[in-house]
């Protein structure tokens, strides 16, 4: 269990002694694809580390549609921030694919943070990173055109490198579209236009970026 916990940046560099009480209190969780983990408003009694699969964090709008806030992938943690406050979950969560996770009780992490400065610093760093990512997201969301959003999204996956690069989309296109605040139809049209312009190519569920430079140009309008 300790070895599994160390997958998360949160727990890397902690001593075995530090990790032991957390490992003892945690348990493995398995979920079928599509299964609900919790809904908005549920008491936040635990947080999660994803070992395998991916999770959709979303909110329901008042007219019943869902807005994807974040997609959590293998190796990432989620809901750490709520585990520290005595507040209910601010989002719903459900499994995109078959899921393997570790559930860590909020009480244990709260107690450990109080004793263990190292862990507290790790958590601060992790939350700070999340704040940064949200700042990026808010910026991206308020960028005007659909093309810019998509270009920005793809660019976030690329290395600095200039050559052809391959992107594995997390789950379905419709979900990525939702993540970007777009309709599936619009997303499809944007991809089509990019293909016409020779910026990308598609090959068995992967997007191949032929010209990162052009992509950057599209984002910058």
Partner DNA sequence: GGAAGGACTTGACGGCGGTCAAGGCAAGCA
Partner DNA sequence: TGCTTGCCTTGACCGCCGTCAAGTCCTTCC
Q: Which long-range contacts (CB under 8 A, 24 or more apart) does 158-162 make?
A: 158/209, 158/212, 158/215, 161/212, 162/212, 162/213
CB of 145 to a copy of itself, least distance (A): 11
> Would you give the binding string for DNA spanning residues 151-190, x where CB under 7 A is met?
---------------------xxx------xxxxxxxxx-
Structure tokens at 153: 């999204």
- Enumerate the H helices of the chain as residue ranges: 2-5, 16-25, 80-84, 106-115, 117-141, 146-155, 173-179, 184-196, 212-219
Residue placing its CB nearer to a copy of itself in the complex, 1 or 140: 140
Q: How far is the CB of 35 from a copy of itself (least distance, A)?
A: 22
Closest CB to a copy of itself among residues 63, 196: 63
β-partners of residue 3 are none
**What is the CA angle 154-58-98, rounded to 5?**
80
By CB under 7 A, residue 35 contacts DNA:
no
By a kind-dependent CB cut-off of 5 to 8 A, residue 32 interacts, out of DNA, a copy of itself, none, with none
Q: Which residues bind a copy of itself (CB under 8 A)?
A: 59, 61-63, 67, 69, 81-82, 84-85, 87, 90-91, 113-115, 117, 120-121, 123-125, 127-132, 134-139, 141-143, 181, 219-221
Q: Are 70 and 141 in contact (CB under 8 A)?
A: no
Residue ranges in contact with DNA by CB under 7 A: 144-147, 172-174, 181-189, 191-192, 202
């Amino acid at each position: 269990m300790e070895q599994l916990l160390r997958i998360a940046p949160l727990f890397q560099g902690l001593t075995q002694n530090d990790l032991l009480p957390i490992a003892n209190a945690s348990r493995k969780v398995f979920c079928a694809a599509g299964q609900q983990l919790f809904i908005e408003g549920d008491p936040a009694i635990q947080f999660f580390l994803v070992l395998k699969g991916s999770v959709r964090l979303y909110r329901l709008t008042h007219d019943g549609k869902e807005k994807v806030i974040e997609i959590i992938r293998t190796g990432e943690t989620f809901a750490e921030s709520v585990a520290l406050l005595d507040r209910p979950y601010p989002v719903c969560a459900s499994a995109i694919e078959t899921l393997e996770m570790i559930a860590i009780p909020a009480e244990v992490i709260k107690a450990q943070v109080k004793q263990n400065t190292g862990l507290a610093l790790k958590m601060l760093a992790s939350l700070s990173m999340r704040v940064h990512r949200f700042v990026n997201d808010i910026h991206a969301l308020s960028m005007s055109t659909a093309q810019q959003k998509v270009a920005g999204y793809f660019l976030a996956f690329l290395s600095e490198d200039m050559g052809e690069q391959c992107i594995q989309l997390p789950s379905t296109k419709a979900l990525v579209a939702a993540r970007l605040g777009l309709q599936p139809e619009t997303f499809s049209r944007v991809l089509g236009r990019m293909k016409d312009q020779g910026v990308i190519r598609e090959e068995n569920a992967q997007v191949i970026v032929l010209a990162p430079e052009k992509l950057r140009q599209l984002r910058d309008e």
